[in-house]
Chain A
Amino acid sequence: MTVPALSVQGLTTHFFTRAGVVKAVDGVSFDLAQGEIMGLVGESGSGKTVTGFSLLGLVDPPGRIVEGSIKLNGTELTTLSGSALRARRGREISMIFQDPIATLNPLLTIGQQMQLAIAAHERLGKRAALARCTELLTQVGIPSAEARLRAYPHEFSGGMRQRVAIAIALLHRPAVLVADEPTTALDVSIQAQILLQMRELAAETGTAMIWISHDLAVVSSLATKLAVMYAGKIVEQGPTAALLRDPRHPYTAGLIASLPAMTTPGTPLTQIRGTTPSLLSLPPGCPFAPRCDKQTEACVQKPAMTLDGPRGWRCFHPVGQTAGAPT
């Protein structure tokens, strides 16, 4: 087997706040092959965004990675110095965000910003740099790319701005792109365009992607495998189609069942009861137990990841299976 583009083992990121230690990411592990797209699904507070930030070493105090390993093309990132990490960030691993305005400088043209991004990591002639910028803008679906290089961020629509952010993130053909809800703020028609484009780009360039989203439908139309996060842990993972068709974790099953499309219009939806837990006061065992219909005494223990081929789940009572209590 070849070395995966990204290999994460036991990643644990905690925030040491006044009110207590927030275990935002608590033992997250996954592998990502070259050109593979993984959907990281979860609600607010599930740790999906902090996972993304941890991968790039962008967690700010009071948060820090307390444990775990992140291997990018075989290189361990967690032990790298700040400057060595910065040298890789943007070139080998990059990130796009929900709000592209936050990452674009309003005072520089798109062309200037892209050239600065290139110059940060390699020396390239002006002509070659411009050619690369034009090529990438065209690739992400910006019409008349060469002319648009002279435009400022505010002259682009929201969808186009996100495309520019994607183009900048892909300038150095990174091994891994972390996308944090990049289409959430966009209209569905624009979202559809970008999703299709990203699918093609991943196949073309071999860039592996982690697509973070709260929307199962969005990631399922893009990712070949999924990881579902709840309260800082991956509670279920597996190939997209299998996971959606036959979810094992009651939380995943509940999420799918609660979608309006799963119920006759006008009739009550299947709902998950309760509220998302506060990371400061998690139940001692399975974090989903208080909201779970299948909860038993066994659930006061923390369930370990049960692996079955490419699939895995953290549950003592997986849906559609008659697994016993923990030994």
Chain B
Amino acid sequence: MSAGPSRLALFWAEYSENKIAVLALVVVVVMILLALFAALISPQNPYDLANLSLRDSRRPPGFVGSGGYTHILGTDPQGRDLLSAIFYGLRISIQIGLAAGFVSLSIGTTLGILAAYLGGRVETLIMRLVDLQLSFPAILLALVIVALLGQGKAQLIGALVAAQYAYFARTAYGAAKAERGKDYIEAALATPLSARLVLWRHMLPNCTPPLIVVATVQIANSISLEATLSFLGLGLPVTEPSLGMLISNGFPYMMSGRYWISVYPGVALIILIVAINIVGDQVRDQFNPRLRK
């Protein structure tokens, strides 16, 4: 009987050997905490128009504004404190990334597993649709959908989901197809257990490792896709600026020396996405037995 340390403990032991991945995880956690507690730590509420003064607009970092506090990262064209705007922007970006990620995860996984399990015409129909969609760039699809649906959080998430569920479907399909042929599935079907039970209790849990990997990557992709759409002015309304819109707002002033309006939100976005991707890479390496030492 080998009880040994739990799987999670071993997983963490392996993860913690990669110091960069640990650092990336810390960065991700810190950014999520900043986003969560944006209202508590921000010097200013950037959504409250009453707080904003146009006299403070486009001020460089270190400027002490009419509110009586220092704008550490300067202000934007609307007179918002950039640091506060970045915290709130992070909140929106992460919110949208997570929401789009989880909705596409659920839809994609369901479709992929059903296709693998049912086979035949259903499989052909779902997977050809997925293949077709994967042959378009996600941004193109998202653009078209936002153009059709209009602006707003729900519409944006909808567009991101439509652009991304296919990745999950493909991954879930591959994993489920491999699990489908294994003895324990056959054993469950031979009992017999209902298809619902087999899918829900056996197939799904065993397909999760690759899905977790895709989920981390796709959440990062959702965030950058959202930023792109917002930058193009197709994202959220101006009253709730996300990181992409902050970058866009500062863009006209880039050449006039007021670099901070675009650059600081950009840096925040890059750090977030790179950190998530490093975490995702490490998780993938650990789940993929072929890359194991």
Contacts and interface: CB of A to CB of B under 8 A. Distances in A.
Contact of B5 (A19, A61, A275): A19
Contacts of B2: 278, 280-281
A19 B293 contact: no
Nearest to A61: B293
A18 B13 contact: yes
Interface in A2-23: 18-19
Contacts of A19: 4-5, 10
A269 to B, nearest CB: 23
A42 to B, nearest CB: 19
**Which of B4, B5, B14 has the most chain A CB atoms inside 10 A of its CB?**
B4
Contact of B14 (A18, A62, A281): A18
A100 to B, nearest CB: 21
B4 to A, nearest CB: 6
B58 to A, nearest CB: 55
B1 interface: yes
Contacts of A275: 1
A62 B14 CA distance: 14
Contacts of A278: 2
A19 B11 CA distance: 12
Contacts of B10: 18-19
A62 B13 contact: no
Contacts of A280: 2, 4
Interface residues of B, number: 8
A275 B1 CA distance: 8
B5 A62 contact: no
A280 B1 CA distance: 11
Interface string A274-288: 010010110000000
Nearest to A60: B293
Given A18-B13, A18-B14, A19-B10, A62 B4 contact: no
A62 B1 contact: no
Interface in B1-34: 1-2, 4-5, 10, 13-14
Contacts of A18: 10, 13-14
B7 to A, nearest CB: 12
Nearest to A62: B293
Contacts of B14: 18
Nearest to A275: B1
A237 B70 CA distance: 84
Interface in A252-294: 275, 278, 280-281
Nearest to B17: A18
A306 B202 CA distance: 52
Contacts of B5: 19
Contacts of B13: 18
Question: Can you list the 9 inter-chain pairs with the closest CB atoms, starting with the nearest?
Answer: A278-B2, A18-B13, A19-B4, A18-B10, A18-B14, A61-B293, A19-B5, A62-B293, A280-B2
